[in-house]
Structure 1
C-alpha cells in the first residue's frame, strides 16, 4: 500500500495589489497584462484547491498610500472576498499585522508570495516568512516591479533585472522560485 505525500497547508499572499499604485508616477498606462494574467491564474488555482487567499495592503503617509486616500483597496480586476485582509505600515507583511498568528491558527506551513514591488514588500515578506519557519514559494511572474535608477552610478535597472536579482538572492536560501503552473501543480 502506498501513501500519497501530504502537502503542507498553503496560503496565497497577494501583497499590495492596491489602487494606490495606479496613482504613482511610475505606474505604466493600462494594466500590466502579463502580471495581471499570471496573478489571476494563480489566485483562481489557489481558490480551486481550497488554498486561502490573503490580501495585504500598504498604508503610510505618502499620498495615495494614506489611509484617507480612498485607494487602500484591491485593484478593480482582482477578485474580492479574501479569507483575510491585513494592513501593513512597513515592507514586511508580518510586522505588527497579526498575519503570523492568523496563519498559525489556520495551520498554514507554506506561503505563496505574489504582489507588487517584487524587490520590496514581496521579497521582504518572503525573507521574514522563511525566518519564521514557513516554506515559501515565490511566484516571480505573479509579482510586479518598476525600473529603477541607481543614484550613485546613474545606471537604470529594468523591472526584469530587478526580478532576476530578487530570484538570485532568494533562491534556495529563503524561497523556492516557481512559476504559476509549477506552484499550482504542487498544491
Structure 2
C-alpha cells in the first residue's frame, strides 16, 4: 500500500456560512464519497482532515459544533481524522509522519477550497516528493472578492462586483497552476475508469 486519499475540509463549517450559496460544487460530498469508495476498494489509505480555529468564535471554532465532516461522509475504523490550523494539511498535523510510516508515496487530494487548502496541500506534497493527483471535480470553492473590495461584503455585493473572481475562474486557474508542476489533474470519472481497466 503506497497510496493515500487525503480528504481536506469537507466539513459542515462551510455549510454554516452564507457564502455556501455560491459554492461551485454543492454536491462535493457525493464526489468525495465516490473517491473514498474507490480508495477503499483499492486498499489505499483514507485520511480525513478538518480545519479548526479554536477560540475564534467563528464557524471553524470547534466550540460551535460545525467542525465535523459533512453528514454524508462516514470514516471507517482505522481511518485517521486530523485537525489542522494551517492552510495545508501537513504543517500543523502529523500527516507526513503517518504517510511515511505507511510507505505512502502517491497522494490523491480533494476537498474545500480548491485554491486554498487543497491546492496548498498539493503544492507542499509535491515539494515533499509525493506524486500528487488533484481531483478537480471533487473540490469546491467560492467566488473571491477583489483585494480592494470592502471588508464584510454581503453575498449579493460580492456577486454584483464586476471585479469578483468567479468560482469557475478560480478552479480553472488552479488547474493551470498545478498541472505539470505540482500535480496531475484528474476527474472522479477518470479515476474510476482507470480502476476498472486495472481490474
Confirm or deny that 1:40 pairs with 2:33.
Answer: yes
Contact 2:8 2:118 in 1 (8 A): yes
Contact 1:137 1:183 in 2 (8 A): no
- Superposed CA deviations along residues 132-152 of structure 1, whole A, max 9, x for unmatched, are 110000000000001122134
- TM (norm. structure 1) is 0.88
Confirm or deny that 1:58 pairs with 2:51.
Answer: yes
Confirm or deny that 1:130 pairs with 2:126.
Answer: yes
Confirm or deny that 1:67 pairs with 2:62.
Answer: yes
What is the CA–CA distance in structure 2 between the aligned matches of 1:152 and 1:172, rounded to whole Å?
32
What is the CA–CA distance in structure 2 between the aligned matches of 1:97 and 1:142, rounded to whole Å?
22
- Secondary structure of the 2:10 match is coil
1:29, CA displacement in angstroms? 8.4
What is the CA–CA distance in structure 2 between the aligned matches of 1:39 and 1:47, rounded to whole Å?
12
Instruction: Give the RMSD, CA atoms, in angstroms.
Output: 2.1
- Residue 168 of structure 1 is aligned with which of 148, 172, 176? 176
- Secondary structure of the 1:101 match is helix
- Secondary structure of the 1:64 match is coil
Contact 1:119 1:166 in 2 (8 A): yes
1:113 maps to 109
- Secondary structure of the 2:62 match is coil
More helix by share: 2
- Secondary structure of the 1:63 match is coil
Matches within 5 A, 1:135-174: 135-152=131-148, 155-174=163-182
1:180, CA displacement in angstroms? 1.1
Gaps of 5+ in 1: 1-7
1:80 maps to 75
2:11 maps to 18
Matches within 5 A, 1:92-103: 92-103=88-99
What is the CA–CA distance in structure 2 between the aligned matches of 1:91 and 1:62, rounded to whole Å?
18
Contact 2:29 2:70 in 1 (8 A): no
- Superposed CA deviations along residues 43-67 of structure 1, whole A, max 9, x for unmatched, are 1111111111111010112511012
- TM (norm. structure 2) is 0.83
